[in-house]
Amino acid sequence: MSETTVGEHRGIGRRGLLGGASAVIGAMLTGTASAATARAAGTRAGTRAGNGGAAGPLAFTNVTVIDGSGAPPAPGMTVVVEDGRITGLAPTGRIRLRPGTRTVDLTGKYVTPGLIEAHTHSDGPEAVVAPLYALTGVTTVREMWGKPVHHEWRDEIRDGALLGPRCVIGSPIVDGAPSLWTADVGPAVEVRDAAEARRVVRQVKRAGADFVKVYSRLSREAYFALADEARRQGIAHLGHCPDTVRIAEASATGHRSIEHLHALLLATSRHEKEIRRRLAAVRIDPGDPSSLSRYHSWFQQVHPLEWRAVRGYDRDRADALFRTLAAHGTTIVPTLSVHRTLELPDDVPTRAEEWKCLPAWQVESWPDQLAALTGGRTPEQAREISRIFRHRQRLVSELRDAGVRLAAGTDTGTGYLVPGFALHDELALLVAAGLTPAEALRAATQDAARLLGLSGVGTVARGQAADLLVLDADPLRDIRNTRRIHGVVVDGRWIPPQERSRLLADVESAAAQTPPPQEGATVTGCGCGGHP
């Protein structure tokens, strides 16, 4: 085989973390805990006892249901859960409960479907990462850079040995040669022609991937062969829109989702032809062993092109493209969270309460990572890039207006984004971009479920999986209320407030016991939001 697999590592060197290999786009989430610490804490967090320790149905009464479909909220409802499914849903005064049904009075509370994180890169000790998603109400995730550890976690979660979300797991990144990723980060596959692209599709399907993750530097020949082979093999292809392919062309192949808002800038500009010529001239050093260095170089070359695209924004071109995306059912995953981090670095927080859920040494490395990646900008460049971010927000609103499906994803795995918590921030960013709270919630529930091909999650309805988020305040009044979590139901398991607090304390303890990586280890991790 002539395609090249780049890396296959699960550690990270502190020197690389702070200064060279990974930066904000390639840093792993939490490092590698000792096996004993991770396994012991993970088992405790994941110990399964059905509906909070008792068999039989469980009824949540007197609750306001926000079902995820965009329908008006329904107050005074009862939701019955049994064997991991919603088996009853009706007004509390009109539902008849079976003898032996336990009840939890949720007067004054609000229930939504469990949230779906459509773009994440999870790494680190299972005792930290997997439970964090579930305990923040994120009950389904789509892993955008699949690795063996994700399949291991999925098996443990399914077996009830680990508390965590449902997982849809992609292939390794499939990119052209040279890729922006090097061996310091993780497994990426470089393909050079159509034959290699077809072979890789068959390989990743045999390996158990749920979809093929497409990346930016694929050639046209390789991309269209990959798309055709994916159709033949019955596996989705999605991810970045390659630089050599127009978005409308990718959409017509069945490209299921386009991640980030880079390619949309180019496709909606009247300067597209000029920018494409200049983009084709962008080069990275194939001998550079650092993904961080390659990305920094890429940013420096590409940001002027993005600024040129923004200045040439053409609403008519945008409307025509958005109609095409809507007609083909192509979903956009804006990942405003990572765009904000990389494009408004002066606005990132200096601390946040949820950072205590991660190892202190990792959190402390974030400023150095961000500075290494975004440094060297002149004040004028910084102003331009800030305006690029505001334009991305405008595109989100216009996509919504055109009927293009949006799904909420964050690019968690990037610095300053904490598993689970980051999705709540993404919802707030979507609302700031012009969506209503109901539309933002739908992007993280029903619409995200459709993107992932999961018919059994994403709404509160009879027959659906019992993945629920119980809130103390109305998220339709203020989307930030999704953070006011009373309890969660994860695959039928009710985790009430006191137990949730205990499990979060377990996560914090596991994070505190996670030692820094050994010097000289190599990076594993994530991040793909950093370039077009």
Tokens of 357: 């859920």
Tell me what the mean pLDDT of segment 371-379 comes to: 85
**Domains of the chain, CATH where assigned:** 4-512 (3.20.20.140)
Measured CA to CA, the distance from residue 160 to residue 456 in angstroms comes to 19
Residue with tokens 């996670």: 514
- Predicted pLDDT of residue 279: 87
Residue 520 dihedral angles phi and psi, to the nearest 5°: 90, -10
For residue 348, the 8-state DSSP code is: S
pLDDT band at residue 187, thresholds of 50, 70 and 90? low
Q: Closest Cα partner for 340 from 290, 291, 396, 294?
A: 396
- Predicted pLDDT of residue 42: 41
Beta bridge partners of 88: 80
pLDDT tens-digit profile of 448-458? 999 999 999 99
395: amino acid identity, one letter? L
- Predicted pLDDT of residue 363: 93
Instruction: Please spell the DSSP secondary structure of 255-298, one letter per residue.
Output: --EEESSHHHHHHTBTTHHHHHHHHHT----TT---HHHHHHHH
Statement: residue 29 has pLDDT above 60: no
More confident residue, 514 or 291: 514
More confident residue, 183 or 460: 460
**Secondary structure (3-state) at 77:** strand
pLDDT tens-digit profile of 298-329? 778 888 999 999 999 999 999 999 999 999 99
Statement: residue 33 has pLDDT above 50: no
Give per-residue burial for 286-312: e unless 16+ CB within 10 Å, then b. Answer: eeeebbbbbbbbbbebbbebbbbbbeb
What is the gyration radius of the CA atoms in the chain, in angstroms? 22
Q: Closest Cα partner for 291 from 2, 24, 4?
A: 24
pLDDT tens-digit profile of 191-205? 999 999 999 999 999
Tokens of 279: 């983009």
Measured CA to CA, the distance from residue 204 to residue 212 in angstroms comes to 7
Catalogue the long-range contacts made by 89-96 (C-beta closer than 8 Å, 24 or more residues apart): 89/65, 89/460, 89/461, 89/462, 92/61, 92/62, 95/59
pLDDT tens-digit profile of 104-121? 999 999 999 999 999 999
Measured CA to CA, the distance from residue 404 to residue 406 in angstroms comes to 6
Beta bridge partners of 61: 105
- Predicted pLDDT of residue 380: 94
pLDDT tens-digit profile of 231-266? 999 999 999 999 899 999 999 999 999 999 999 999
Share of the chain above pLDDT 70, in %: 86
Tokens of 146: 């699949």
